[in-house]
Chains A and B, each alone.
Chain A
Amino acid sequence: MRIRLKGARVLDPGNIDGFKDIIISDGVIDALMDPCIELPPVSQSSSESNREVQPSVYTPENDSITDIDITGMVVVPGLIDMHVHLREPGHEYKETIKTGLKAAAKGGFTAVCAMPNTSPVNDNNSITAFMVSRAKELVNSSLSSNDSTRGSGVCRLYPVGAITKELKGESLCEYGDMKRAGIVAISDDGRPVENARVMRRAMEYAKGLELPVISHSEDINLARDGAMNEGITATRLGLKGIPNAAESTVIMRDIALAELTGASVHIAHVSCEESVDAIRNGKKRGVKVTAETAPHYFTLTDEAVARYDTNAKMNPPLRTERDRQAVIDGLVDGTIDIIATDHAPHSPLEKDVEFDRAAFGIVGLETSLGLSMQLVQDGRLSFGDLINKMSKKPALILGINNDLKVGNPADITVIDTNSFWSVNPKTFLSKSRNTPFTGFSLKGEVYMTIVGGKIAYQRD
């Protein structure tokens, strides 16, 4: 079974930019060819000059090929979201691996990293193995037996293991064992590793295993009882604030520890100016530090809390306009390498309550690309930069090769960059609807997501 994607612009930053047809065979990219070339018989293929790569298995008679005309679309290497919460095991009423991976595919992601704060915590190889096998099961259960181009609608899952047992910040987990079971990084996300000595040892130990350490940077004493950004909106609403320094001080510490240990540290969910400055300085010093932000931090400010809207409550909180601009500047100058979502599904049980009692977090998988495209529309990022931040850089950090190259797995996202659409949570494939972006009009939409050569999502 083969698929030919026809007529689209293919953009793999630093690798390809041009109109190409892509042939996918047995789950891998089989050929990238200039368009409108009739498939030649095998005997002639060697003399074909304008073909970049020779298809290996073409003979007109050997099997069928399904043409998919995607003229006007842009094909990019599959998007990767380094930061999601899938809630399984433990909180399946908010999200399951299945619904989360389907929502991800709809959002254009061919792979996501699942944070370990499940219940039980992913702090040992059996939980890692459970998550990996659950995802594998889903991939193998084909949606439609009639249409072999269709996959089961899910994307790949890369688990992130815990840094410390039960996220308690005390003792290290068996990273080596968990890496064999499938983890690609470690993090206590949702909680900081409070003790600097524990964090130091985790970094040193993980370095030997080439596992990046993802830092949830938060001083919980400074942030305690806080429900939103400390600032004039919190003052007006009478809500306790979380200051920028609760985030930036721990980022500074973890950059210092990365410098001390020589380990790679990745800073999760950067939300404020001081944090961007700290990371910029760290990079200047040559520390192996990378960083991510999420679309809400460059789209909204703490004013979105408006009248106690719990869908605008997340941790770190939405900040001020100055912070929002600093985050965008950080994305533009490369200080912030990655856009991730921090997809955090919650049900009305956690959200339809008093603001200070509501859970932190919003869903993000199905709005990330559209919101991020706004940076391209505004002329702040080139489209190629955006694809770097949503696909190539995450791949680099995680050690995944997702280049659009012959022989690589066909993990491909097809984007309709000119499509206008409006965010409607009722259409989400995620189990949860906790988004502050309801009704937002966005330009740029996922047209198709191909995972391992099968169509995981296609727009109606």
Chain B
Amino acid sequence: MRFEHKDLLDIDSLSVRDISMILDTAEGMKEISNRPVKKVPTLRGKTIVLFFQEPSTRTKLSFDIAAKRLSADTISISSGSSSIVKGETLIDTAKNLESMNPDIIVIRHPSSGAAELISRRVKASVVNAGDGLHAHPTQALLDMMSVREKKGRIEGLNISIIGDIAHSRVARSNIEGFTKMGAIVTVAAPPTMIPKGVETLGCRLAPDIDSCIENADVVMMLRIQKERQETILFPTEREYSMLFGLNSDRLKGAKRDVLVMHPGPMNRGVEISNDVADGEHSVILEQVTNGVALRMAVFYLVAGGMKNAD
């Protein structure tokens, strides 16, 4: 079996088999991070460019660590330091990067479709680390990995996603991914945060948080982006927390062994209460741990997988 994709742009273009292969590979990679010497030579001599046009700490670090544990060389370009501020177009920047022969370009960009735009212009593999409101495939894959690890399966599980679905690439990729793997995804949010025709992504829409959480195997909370307040999505954080915040009382409606997830960074006290964030059901930090293994798997597979193994 071979991974047939040059790039990882979104979940939509992956088959069930592709996703399973990525998750299986990631599980195998996880052990490397627990060794005293956390490094294998798999991608020695490969160059990975981390091209981040949006602020990011966790995701960028996760990609960087993943690359280094596979012995790849990484170079980071961020928005402040890049020639984009000097007026260069995205395509020109990509072509310039290409001229230095990187093997993989990891891109995060505020415009939906930016990763795909670049992938059409360069020979290097492109890994989407988040494009606008469109997709964040590695986040969805690490979430699926975390669920599968804890629950032993994805198929048939009830997954609840609560928060700003309309402006969340994490939500889009997770709805597509979990649905594709046979889970039942239900979303809830104030109607201002529900995109038109959200059901066409494969999920169900619940009228409120309690009915969304009911009987859930997994509750995934999305970050409320304070910086979006200018778009008038909800009156106050206080009211949001009252209507759509997750607390231990509400969590009682879910299954007893429910997992609580959050892609981070959290607004404690807004979308999630302290006790739930740090409680027994929370797997939020394990998501971060799995992120490294998952991204190692993605690098390994897009770089050619078995062919390049030492």
Contacts and interface: CB of A to CB of B under 8 A. Distances in A.
Contacts of A234: 195-196
Nearest to B111: A354
Contacts of B99: none
Nearest to B133: A238
Interface stretch (B73-81, B113-121, B250-258): B113-121
A175 interface: no
Contacts of A357: 111
B109 interface: yes
B305 interface: no
B223 interface: no
A232 interface: yes
A236 B132 CA distance: 12
B61 interface: no
Contact of A353 (B90, B196, B201): B90
Chain A interface residue count: which class? 10 to 19
A241 B196 contact: yes
Chain B interface residue count: which class? 20 to 34
Nearest to B173: A238
Nearest to A227: B112
Contact of B196 (A230, A307, A355, A356): A230
Nearest to B109: A354
A307 B197 contact: no
B217 interface: no
A270 to B, nearest CB: 21
A356 B111 CA distance: 6
B276 interface: no
A281 interface: no
Contacts of A355: 111-113, 117
B21 interface: no
Given A236-B201, A241-B196, A307 B116 contact: yes
B131 interface: yes
A303 interface: no
Interface in B110-138: 111-114, 116-117, 131-135
Given A231-B196, A308-B116, A354-B114, A238 B169 contact: yes
A353 B88 CA distance: 11
B142 to A, nearest CB: 19
Contacts of A239: 112-113, 132-134
B34 interface: no
B226 to A, nearest CB: 18
A308 B120 CA distance: 12
Interface of A: 230-232, 234-241, 307-308, 352-357
